[in-house]
Amino acid sequence: MAERILDVKNLKIDFHTYAGEVRAIRNVSFHLNEGETLAIVGESGSGKSVTTRSIIGLLARNAQIMGGEINFHGKNLLDLSEKEWQKIRGNEIAMIFQDPMTSLDPTMKIGQQIAEPLIKHKGASKKEAWAKALEMMKAVGIPNAEERINEYPHQFSGGMRQRIVIAIALICEPEILLADEPTTALDVTVQAEILDLMKDLQKRVKTSIIFITHDLGVVAGMADRVAVMYAGEFMEYGTVDDIFYNPQHPYTWGLINSMPTLESDTLESIPGTPPDLLDPPKGDPFAPRSKYAMKIDVERKPPFFKVSDTHYAATWLLAPGAPKVEPPKEIQRRWKKFKLMQEEHS
Amino acid sequence: MAEKKKILEVKHLKQYFKNGRVTTKAVDDVSFDIYEGETFGLVGESGSGKTTTGRSILQLYKPTSGEVIFEGKNVEKLKGREEQLQFRRDAQMIFQDPYASLNPRMTVEDIIAEGLDIHHLVKSKEERRARVEELLETVGLNKNHASRFPHEFSGGQRQRIGIARALAVKPKFIVADEPISALDVSIQAQVVNLMIELQKKQGLTYLFIAHDLSMVKFISDRIGVMHFGKLLEVGPADAVYDRPLHDYTKSLISAVPVPDPEVERKRQRIAYDADKEERDGKERTMHEIRPGHFVRCSDDEVAHYQEVAASYE
């Protein structure tokens, strides 16, 4: 068993707004194993960004943690003071943001920006830090690094800027890297390069990654494990193969089914919109949009049912005695493949 | 496809932008046809000129040179206000950003009815309201949404309003510029399905501009691939996707993430050297390699592309 580096338990976060309390994160628990990539998938407003931001202490001012713990090296991160946070942030836990255009300081040379965490966290001298920054720029694949180290962010393209952001995040060799939609703003060919780079650096630096995205294609290529999030809760989690070939929650089915694949001639959309978290639904939050919903789904929140040692899903469909339903064709195709894969293994 | 009627012909379209001494060739000698009732997908990365092409077709920019022929008429040389108004009715646009493309101070009714007013398509307030309500229902919204303002809607709903606005004047041809890029996955499918349904019912022709290749392949009959202002490959959607000719198309397709872990584990990326074709300075034009499947190449490269095409068979 791999060692758990991060353990999040029963996390609850509310946002104060003029309209009332938004229950953004509602009892979320998960862990991160050493060296793995955990992808959190969900639509906008599902709470995936808020979850990661709570792990690095960067919640918005109107956010309030209502309960739970985030354990990292025996410490509950939720108890840290801002001063203690500053020792961890960018050092042991680092983050890559979605928009490479706004996450760099336009008035600072990029060499300075990459070197800064080393000087601040590791007590490196300016000279050492500068040399390491140069090395890092080469590692993330910026051509002519010797010259470009003196340039400013506006002189770089979006893809190059995201490489710089990655260099800054990884220069202290953090134990955990949080990547919030790091390639969403990029073109597909650039995205492919950045994803390859992240995989490569992960091996070298031995960091564990929490990868936030809405793109199931990216998840399939990057993740060891996947958690599917909806309306502030986890719906299902498991290994990448569990989620893509043996999905159990109707929301996961809907997500997979609404993406065109090479074989698909029809596109099944999920009707409706996500619920308003000012007044979160009592039962399974996906029930109002699900054609597989039963009466109990609306009334009572399903617990996580165990599918296998690695795979859990919060749907009443897995309860003993639940009616057998026929999932969408694409899902049945994937289930068949999963069976074949398991037979091959055994 | 031969018996099908061309609704739009783009001939040697050039759109240059001058900024001081620098001239950006956003669209550089692009030619293609769109047939009535089909969806033509235009794909490319940012800066490829796909959006500019769409906008130039609708005369939102004045093309530097080249012709855009809509239903047999050169749209730059339309005679009189009447012909111009008719073109503006027949050709509509759906924009990428459903947040920026709706005026926040106008009610949904006024947004959708603006075209109706300009083209004098309704005679009374009641008729106007009735038409707006009908349009709202067509795009899957509720008719009492008419008196609300854009901020009261989600992204997907706003995009439906944008579609209703485009449909209001009963167009024949719609340029949809990345209509789903700003939407969540589950909502993207809703909007794409709505567009397909409307096309079937109303016989619409689409120019569908996007960077999401898998979605473009799904919705399009034919696909054009753009890169650095040039159209590199045009052909039936399946052919371009499954049997790409141009190295750039291959590299683009090899970079698309597929929601299947096994496919991803085996994925081989193909790199593309954009300068290669620039350096040799050869004259390149569109050549038909397989019926309906064109690639931009020089005369002496035709044999090479014939081989590439044959390798798939």
**What is the torsion angle, in degrees rounded to the nearest 10, for the CA atoms of residue A230, residue A233, residue A236 and residue A237?**
120
Contact B185/A at CB under 8 A: yes
CB contact under 8 A, B259 and A259: yes
| CATH of A4-223 among 3.30.390.30, 3.20.20.60, 3.40.50.300, 3.90.1150.10 | 3.40.50.300
Instruction: Please report, rounded to a whole number, the percentage of residues in chain B having pLDDT higher than 70.
Output: 99
Which chain A residue shows the shortest CA-CA distance from B268? A192
Residue A238 confidence (pLDDT): 97
Per CB-CB distance under 8 Å, the chain B contacts of A220 are 257-261, 263-264
H or E stretch at B16: strand B6-19
Q: Could you tell me which of B85, B74, B78, B31 has the C-alpha nearest to residue B230?
A: B31
Amino acid at B22: V
CB contact under 8 A, A220 and B45: no
Domain with CATH 3.40.50.300 in chain A: 4-223, 227-345
ipTM of the complex: 0.87
Residue B3 confidence (pLDDT): 65
User: How far are the Cα atoms of A21, A250, B214, B261 from residue A247, in angstroms, in the given order?
Assistant: 32, 8, 22, 13
Whether the per-residue pLDDT at A29 is higher than 80: the answer is yes
Whether the per-residue pLDDT at A222 is higher than 70: the answer is yes
Tokens coding A246? 């043996």
Question: Which conformational region is residue B123 in: left (phi greater than 0), alpha (psi within -120 to 50 degrees), or beta?
Answer: alpha
pLDDT in tens, B240-276: 999 999 999 999 999 989 899 999 999 888 888 877 7
Interface of A with B in 243-262 (CB under 8 A): 244-245, 254-256, 258-262
Contact A78/B at CB under 8 A: no
**Do A296 and A290 touch, CB atoms closer than 8 A?**
no
Contact B1/A at CB under 8 A: no
Residue A102 confidence (pLDDT): 85
Residue B289's pLDDT band (cuts 50, 70, 90): very high
Residue B1 confidence (pLDDT): 47
> What gap in Å lies between CA B101 and CA B269, rounded to an integer?
36
Q: What would you report as the CA-atom Rg of chain B, rounded to the nearest whole angstrom? A: 21
pLDDT in tens, A185-219: 788 888 998 999 999 999 988 899 999 998 999 99
CATH topology assigned to domain A227-345 = Rossmann fold (3.40.50)
Residue A265 confidence (pLDDT): 67
**Do B157 and B149 touch, CB atoms closer than 8 A?**
no
Contact A211/B at CB under 8 A: no
**Do A166 and A133 touch, CB atoms closer than 8 A?**
no
Nearest Cβ partner of B257 from A44, A221, A244? A221
Tokens coding B162? 């944008």
Whether the per-residue pLDDT at A262 is higher than 80: the answer is no
- The domains located in chain B, with CATH, are 6-228 (3.40.50.300), 246-313 (no CATH)
Give the contacts of A93 (CB within 8 A, at least 6 positions apart): A55, A56, A72, A174, A175, A176, A177, A178
Residue B97 confidence (pLDDT): 84
H or E stretch at B12: strand B6-19
Q: Could you tell me which of A103, A181, A119 has the C-alpha nearest to residue A198?
A: A181
**Neighbouring C-alpha atoms within 13 Å toward the C-beta of A28:** 34
B86-106 average pLDDT score: 92
Residue A36's pLDDT band (cuts 50, 70, 90): very high
Per CB-CB distance under 8 Å, the chain A contacts of B156 are 273
Helices (H), B168-271: 185-202, 213-219, 237-242, 247-254, 261-266
Strand arrangement of the beta sheet that strand A20-33 belongs to? A20-33, A4-17, A63-72, A75-76
DSSP annotation string for B251-283: HHHHTS--S-HHHHHH-------THHHHHT---
Residue A135 confidence (pLDDT): 94
Tokens coding B105? 């101070």
Nearest Cβ partner of B185 from A43, A188, A221? A43
pLDDT in tens, B140-168: 888 889 999 999 888 889 999 999 999 99
What predicted TM-score, i.e. pTM, was given to this entire model? 0.89
pLDDT in tens, A64-114: 999 999 999 889 999 999 999 999 999 999 999 888 878 899 999 999 999
**Neighbouring C-alpha atoms within 13 Å toward the C-beta of A328:** 23
A14-27 average pLDDT score: 93
**Do A11 and A227 touch, CB atoms closer than 8 A?**
no
Residue B166 confidence (pLDDT): 95
Per CB-CB distance under 8 Å, the chain A contacts of B50 are none
**Do A29 and A76 touch, CB atoms closer than 8 A?**
no
